[in-house]
Structure 1
Amino acid sequence: MSMKSLRSLFAMLVIPLFFAMGLGLSTSAIAADEQNSQQQAGKTSEADLWRAVKAGDSGFTTAQGIEPGVLINVVGNQGKDVRNEYLTPVMGIAVVGVFVAFLFFYLLNGPSKLSKGFSGKMVLRWSKADLWIHWVLASSCMVLIFTGLNIMLGKHVLQPYIGEGLWASLIYGSKFIHDWVGPIFIVSWVLCVVKWMPMQTFKMYDLKWFLVVGGYINFGPFKGQHPDSGFANAGEKMWFWTLTIFGLFIAASGLMLVLPGLELPREASMAALLIHAISAIIIIAFTIVHIWMATVLSEGGMECMVSGYCDENWAAQHHNVWYDEIKENNSIVYKD
């Protein structure tokens, strides 16, 4: 066979082989490109999915209930941040700040003494029913305040200094007591509002009470000024309406949080939690003021809620309008 024939035969064998290899390489490249595109698309799709989840978008699930398709509740996380970053510090400031402010005022000013001293004659001011309502309400309120403070602030104030077992028992007990004392507070709060509301309307003379700080200041131009006051003075009326309004918020939000039969959206539950905390801060601050005013700042004031009677000079000095009315109506009742 001639060399020319051999070259022709080699060309006939090699050229198709190179052609087949080139076709195979092209096909592999196309397949690899398609695979990379699919992987990239998969990664993009997965990223979009998790962005949607983190944004709180709703998906599909066979689970039943309120908002079962929402894996991450954005509003709930935001509410938790508001509670931890703002409400918890504010609650601590309210407790410490108000207490320290009144302690400083007491050390500087002293108590508001009776200008004519004690008369020894005791005038009926509160009935037995009033005393029961007051002390049940006060006791339940104080229990809720201390357990609520532990729930909100305990992890910052107590937990670092006590054992984990003791802390677990303490926080569980606080939550348990808080939930079960709540209904007692609500019932006594309703009785308080219904029974005492007629005595809590503001009058024009209440404005002067605020201007002279109720006559409690013992120095400067306000010393010795005793503004007019009815059965309840302006400060007591402010405390009553604060308790009425924010007590309603606390009761409603508390029931939303603890009643097992309520199926609420998570946004509603978080809103209830924030409203509960804000209302609690306000009531705690006013409760501290109320306790200071009723005990150490007003000489003879605490006796009113112990026996239901007040000294006649105390009535004439702190509630002169009411005292004059019961004298004129001949409805004054003295203690035997």
Structure 2
Amino acid sequence: MATPDITTRQTRARRYKRIALWTIAIIVVGAMVLPLGGYVYTGIQSAHAQAVEDSNPRANYWRAVRGGDQGYTAVEGQEAGVLMQEGGQNWRQMRNGPLANYGGWGLFLIALAILLFFGMRGRINIEKGRSGKLVKRWSSWERFVHWYTAILFVLLAITGLSILFGRAVLIPLLGPRGFAAWADMAIGLHNIAGPAFSIGVLVMIIMWIPNNLPSKGDGEWLSKAGGIFSDGTHPPAGKANAGEKIWFWIICTVGVAVVITGFILDFPNYGQTRDTMQLANIIHGAASVVWVGVWFGHAYIGTVGTEGALEGMTTGYVDANWAKQHHDIWYDEIGQGGGTTQYSGSTTSKTEAGGTGEQPA
């Protein structure tokens, strides 16, 4: 029979055991339940904050302003009732960020690449020398349209790019006041010259589209890069080679995009919303940078890069050996027609209607 002391100790041990088990159970349950209380508390606080915010008319008003909601105004016009248009910040970041940065570096690298190429390759000369025979390549009307459009293109490029890159490039050089004066004049010139330029682009597209349709030899010309990397490699070409055709179709696509967006920006009072104007501005800037970059190559090939090319667009005539070297198919086509006409006061007999004339010895 157990003594009283043993019984007491056993009872006490069982009590301690129950206390320990209940303590562990309470700790486990508390560990699972107490975190849930945080969520409940957060929900209560959010609901309270929402209730306070809903009852605060100033907060509601500011939220509506930031969201671009339309309000009432006596002023007439698209989105006149919008106090703050949130898309303007996105437009500003795109224009002053990727467009200005990547566009500027892109144009610089293209110009640098052309300069390095000219330093290594030099001018592409007429390999057989000048023959003294001249071939009529461009009419007076074609040359007028070309130079009319080209001069306006250069004017628009200078004014437009100076506005796009003025903050980073011109303000450090001219100062804020000097740049402000130039920018004011540049914007005026740009807005006036733009519509006049579009006329030249339209006439140029209509006038030269027959010469710039894809033809059989274009693939070979492109595969040999027109022979610009080595002497003696001149793939056959018609009046317009594949490189000139690419330039033409860039005018028809990128150039037309520049013209259309330019009109949208130039005449803002014809129902355009601010979203439309901002999108047009980004497209106008990006397409213009691409167009100017490709024009660098076009201007280089047509001037210092190729002997005898520029005079075709200044006088209308090119040397027969130049035509044979760069546009042999076209030279063969026009070699059958036209008689020669002696220009008074000139030592060169020039061919009208695409024939050839000899320069007297």
Q: Same fold, TM exceeding 0.5?
A: yes
Q: 2:77 aligns with which of 65, 68, 91?
A: 65
Partner of 2:9: none
Structure 1 distance, partners of 2:197, 2:120, is: 35
Q: Please say if 1:143 is aligned against 2:155.
A: yes
Structure 1 residue ranges without an equivalent (≥5): 1-36
Structure 2 distance, partners of 1:302, 1:82, is: 39
Aligned-residue sequence identity (percent) comes to 33
Distance change in 2, residues 1:305/1:68 (3 Å):
same
Partner of 2:260: 252
Q: Please say if 1:229 is aligned against 2:233.
A: no
How far the C-alpha of 1:54 sits from its partner, in A, is: 1.6
Q: Please say if 1:278 is aligned against 2:278.
A: no
How far the C-alpha of 1:287 sits from its partner, in A, is: 0.9
Q: Please say if 1:305 is aligned against 2:328.
A: no
How far the C-alpha of 1:271 sits from its partner, in A, is: 1.3
Structure 2 distance, partners of 1:67, 1:201, is: 44
Equivalent position SS for 2:60: helix
Asked if structure 1 preserves the Cα contact closer than 8 Å seen for 2:258 and 2:288, the reply is yes
Distance change in 2, residues 1:172/1:41 (3 Å):
closer
Structure 2 distance, partners of 1:162, 1:278, is: 25
Structure 1 distance, partners of 2:145, 2:124, is: 27
Structure 1 distance, partners of 2:357, 2:93, is: 57
Partner of 1:204: 216
Structure 2 distance, partners of 1:240, 1:62, is: 49
Partner of 2:29: none
User: TM-score, normalization: structure 1?
Assistant: 0.83
Asked if structure 1 preserves the Cα contact closer than 8 Å seen for 2:134 and 2:358, the reply is yes
Equivalent position SS for 1:65: coil
Partner of 2:333: 325
Asked if structure 2 preserves the Cα contact closer than 8 Å seen for 1:122 and 1:311, the reply is yes
How far the C-alpha of 1:41 sits from its partner, in A, is: 5.1
Residue 272 of structure 2 aligns with an amino acid whose one-letter code is L
How far the C-alpha of 1:43 sits from its partner, in A, is: 6.6
Q: 1:160 aligns with which of 172, 177, 182?
A: 172
Equivalent position SS for 2:335: helix
Structure 1 distance, partners of 2:278, 2:269, is: 17
Partner of 1:295: 303
Equivalent position SS for 1:64: coil
Alpha-carbon RMSD across the aligned residues, in angstroms, is 2.1
Structure 1 distance, partners of 2:75, 2:183, is: 32
Q: Please say if 1:334 is aligned against 2:346.
A: no
Aligned length: 296
Structure 2 distance, partners of 1:143, 1:128, is: 23
Spell out, residue by residue over 1:148-171, the C-alpha distance to the aligned partner (whole angstroms, 9 max, x if none).
111101121111232333222111
Residue 328 of structure 2 aligns with an amino acid whose one-letter code is N
Q: Please say if 1:193 is aligned against 2:201.
A: no
Structure 2 distance, partners of 1:41, 1:54, is: 15
How far the C-alpha of 1:60 sits from its partner, in A, is: 4.0
Structure 2 distance, partners of 1:116, 1:78, is: 58
Q: Any residues of structure 2 matched to 1:205-220 within 5 Å, and which?
A: 205-218=217-230
Q: Any residues of structure 2 matched to 1:47-66 within 5 Å, and which?
A: 47-66=59-78
How far the C-alpha of 1:195 sits from its partner, in A, is: 0.7
Q: Please say if 1:134 is aligned against 2:158.
A: no
Structure 1 distance, partners of 2:267, 2:101, is: 28
Residue 120 of structure 2 aligns with an amino acid whose one-letter code is L
Residue 223 of structure 2 aligns with an amino acid whose one-letter code is L
